[in-house]
Structure formats: structure tokens, C-alpha cells
Amino acid sequence: MAGDDSGPRHVHSRNVTASVRRQRGPTVTIRPPMAPATEEPYIVDEDRSFHSSDIELDHEYLDRTAASLPDFDFGDEWNFVDEDFELDVEDDAEQWVAPPRRMTGKNVGRAPQASSSTASRSRRGGKKKDDTWVVKDAVPGGPANASVIPSFNGHVAATLWSGQDRGVLKCHNRERTCRTLQVWLSSLSADASERLCRSSVSHLSGSMLAHIDAPLISAFVERWQPDTNSFHLPFGEMTIMMHDVWYILRIPVEGAPVQDDSSVESLQGHVAELFGMPVVGLIGSGSNYWSGGGVSIESVIQLCMRKQPPRCEETQLTAWLFLVLGSSLFIDKSGNRVRPRDILEALLPDRMGSYSWGSATLAYLYRQLGMASRFGCSGIAGCLTLLQCWIYEYFPCFRPQSRSRTVGPDVARSTTWNVRSEGKGAERLITLRERLDSLQAHEV
């Protein structure tokens, strides 16, 4: 604990992030990175590419799938929530969660300032936020003051302390779409496949986990604090770092930032051009192509993967990349739609490898973790394969019982884990909580 003369403890007033605090005085010794020390984790070899031959396909399953098709803030430039996108109420950045009734009174107060992303939305005419969950004084079972975790009263841990259990989170995944993308990839010409290989994301459709362990994810989300962007464990803090993203997913962590400065009208124009129809046909009455601010996954597959009449190679590449981003790195809770903003980088397939997809993926996952840690939330999205594999890498006691695969040094480590469907009941969640409560530093 810092002395009284160390200045304000609030992260915003001191302009000190959680990563800086850990650099100044780490609270836990984390085991070395997953690669040998001789490797340079932040240097990406642009000549290294992933090939479709590296992906082991289950052709029988893929044939059945193809036949059944019918159907944390990093500022405004890192805001991944489209204003017109249909969100669950729990996910709306304007919907600030109020504390439970027991949390009212002297130990709550107004937040000193809003996050930049929310403030920017407020300036655009958003709802007035409710900050009554912000800690002012000591909270039973929580922080003694608001210096480090000012939003604890809105955290799921606060309700668990009071005896309210929200249970297992719904974990959103796009495993079926990823399987379809593998079928699509195998049907492309050699030239098109080679261009996708140079995109740095072509391997993702075969690198996502088929089964997401919802109780395990839920237990760790309960330990996530959005004020520090880290998991608070019995022995200290840990978080997902950029080198973890590189080794687990093998996507670039250096390059141009992924930004969104396009209007809704511009995005609708791009999607309409991809589908080969006028904008009125895309968003007109009775159309299911564009719904709730999102683009139907089924419509992208039906209109761009079709063989009669065949679509040009450029259209198929753009559509494939559009879907792989929304089905692996930037998964949302819409169920059957993808975010239209993902089409922007996909419009230029040959430039896909120049973007820092790792930093964008990590920023998006941080945001999803922060929203899922609020007690009013019932689900979580984002790249849950990254989160689950990070848990496996650093916490051996939570690894799957099935034997892991042996993969080459240049292959995404997410393909190492042979994950089977685990029990998803509340009893297993309680068991995992107890195991986390007893976790010690030497077990990491």
C-alpha cells in the first residue's frame, strides 16, 4: 500500500493505468511467456503465412454442414460498438447498471468522471448515465475505498456477497459459421486461397474452439475488474497480454490500428455492393439482409458463396474475410448477424495483413469482459477462444482432461487443446469458484 504522500490513488486522477502499476510494483510472479526466451514475441514475420493445408478438415462433417445451409477503454477510435447496432439491454454502453437496494446510502456516490467512450456517446445525445453504483466508502466484502476499484458496487461480486447468484453466463460462439468457412475456403481457387493465406487471418476459421466451457469462463469473469482490466486472484492480479494473443491466435499485434470512421449509410452502401443489390433492397421493408443494425450471416453465405450465378473472386474474398472477423475475433450477441463495420478492412483483402488484429481483438475482449462483470449481464461475447486458451496456458489445474495435440511452432496454440463438452450446470460453477478461491501463486 502506498503511503499517504503518494498522491491520488484513482487511476484517472493520476493518469496511471493498471499496466503501469504492475510495472512499478507487480503483485504476482507470472510464469514466463509460452515461447522460448530466444523468440521475439512482438516481431511478426510478414513472409510467414498460414495455408489451408495446415487445417485438418473433417470432410464428412463439412459435407453435412454445407448441405444443411439455409439457413478499455481505448478512446473513441477503439469504440467497437456501432451506435445503430442492436444490442442486448445489458450491453448498451448507455445503460449503466444501478446497484442493488442494499448498496444505497453513504457508501455509494457519483463517479468523478465518465469513461471517454461513454462520454462521447453522451455528447451524441445518449441517455444520462446512472453512476450510483460507484463506491464512496468501505463496502462489505469489497474494497475499503474507491481508490482502485471505484465501480465495485455494480460488479457481480457485490451481489454474490449479498447471496444473489446469477449463475452460468451464456457464452456466444460461432463454431458452425467457422465450419462453413472452412468448406468455403476449400472450394476457392488456388490463387484465391493464396491471397487469403497472406491476410494473416485465414487460419482462424480452423483455430476456434468447438466447445466453450461456460462455467469456467463465468468463474473467471467474476474475478475480472474493469477498473484495472485484470483478474483479481487470491495472490494478486493477472491479465491477458499482447504476446498471449500472438501465441494463442497467431494474428499480428503490430501494424495499422483497426478504426471505424464510416457512417451507417456508408456501411450500408458497402454491404449492398457486396450483395450486388441497391441499398433499398438491403434495408427495405421485408428484407432480412440488414436487421437491427447487423448483417445476416445466412445472407452473406447465400449471396456470396453461391455457384450459380457465380460471384467474382474479389467478392468472395471480401465476404469470407467479413465473416471470419465477425465469427472469430469480434463475436457479438446477435446470434445470427455480424457487425457491418467489419467489412471495412475486408474490402481490400490484400491489405488485411497490415493491421494490428491482435490489439483490436484484445481491446474488444476487454470491453466484453467489463460488461459481463456487471451483475445485470447474463452473457458474454468476444473471442472466448482466446480467453479459454489463456486460462489453459497459465492455470494447469483448469486444463481439459483429454490429451492435448502436438502442433508446430508457427501454428496457433489454440489448436493445441482437444476440448470436449464439459458440464454446464451451476454445481460445476460453484466448484470452480472454490478452486479459484484456494489458488496459490505456485500453481500458475
Q: For the beta carbon of residue 389, count every other beta carbon within 10 angstroms.
A: 27
Domains of the chain, by residue range, sit at: 52-75+169-443
Higher pLDDT, 51 or 285: 285
Which of the given ranges, 106-120, 143-157, 190-204, 402-416, has the highest pLDDT on average? 190-204
Single-letter amino acid, residue 322: F
Max distance between CA atoms of the chain, in angstroms, equals: 73
Q: What pLDDT, in 10s, does the model give residues 206-255? A: 999 999 999 999 999 999 999 999 999 999 999 999 999 999 999 999 99
- What is the rounded distance in angstroms from the CA atom of residue 21 to the CA atom of residue 370? 19
Cis peptide before 234 (omega within 30 of 0): no
Q: Can you tell me the distance from the alpha carbon of 3 to that of 22, in angstroms, rounded to the nearest whole number?
A: 17
191 against 307, higher pLDDT? 191
- The predicted structure's pLDDT at residue 292: 84
Q: Tell me the average pLDDT across 334-361.
A: 94
User: Nine-digit cell at 304?
Assistant: 456470396
Cell numbers representing residue 213 in the block:
466451457
Query: Which of 4-13, 31-40, 72-81, 395-404 holds the top average pLDDT?
Result: 395-404
Tell me the per-residue pLDDT of 416-440, one tens digit each, with 9 for 90 and over: 998 888 888 899 999 999 999 999 9
Q: What's the confidence (pLDDT) of residue 392? A: 96
The secondary element (H helix, E strand) that includes residue 294 is strand 294-296
The per-residue pLDDT of the chain, averaged, comes to 76
Q: 112: how many CB neighbours lie within 10 A of its CB? A: 13
Q: What is the mean pLDDT of residues 267-289?
A: 92
- Residue 268, Cβ neighbours under 10 Å: how many? 20
Task: Give the burial string for 133-149 (b: 16+ CB within 10 Å, else e).
Answer: bbbeeebeebbeebbbb
Q: Pairing relation of β-strands 230-233 and 224-225? A: antiparallel
Q: What cell numbers appear for 259 in the block?
A: 478504426
User: Could you give the CA distance from residue 332 to residue 191 in angstroms, rounded to a whole number?
Assistant: 32
Whether the predicted pLDDT of 62 surpasses 70: no
- Checking phi first, is residue 84 left (phi over 0); if not, alpha (psi -120 to 50) or beta? alpha
At 192 the pLDDT is: 94
Tell me the per-residue pLDDT of 129-148, one tens digit each, with 9 for 90 and over: 666 678 777 877 777 777 88
Q: For the CA atoms of the chain, what is the radius of gyration?
A: 22
Helix (H) or strand (E) holding 428: helix 426-437
**Which of 15-29, 40-54, 191-205, 370-384 is least confident?**
40-54
For cell 481439459, the residue is 400
Please give the C-alpha separations between residue 369 and each of 222, 364, 414, in angstroms, as whole numbers.
Answer: 9, 9, 19
Confidence (pLDDT) at 306: 77
Q: Evaluate whether 152 touches 34 at the Cβ level (below 8 Å).
A: no
Cis ω before 309 (30° cut-off from 0)? yes
pTM attached to this predicted model? 0.72
Q: How many DSSP H helices and E strands does the chain contain?
A: 16, 10
The answer to whether 419 and 210 are in contact (CB under 8 A) is yes
The lowest-confidence range among 25-34, 225-234, 289-298, 304-313 is 25-34
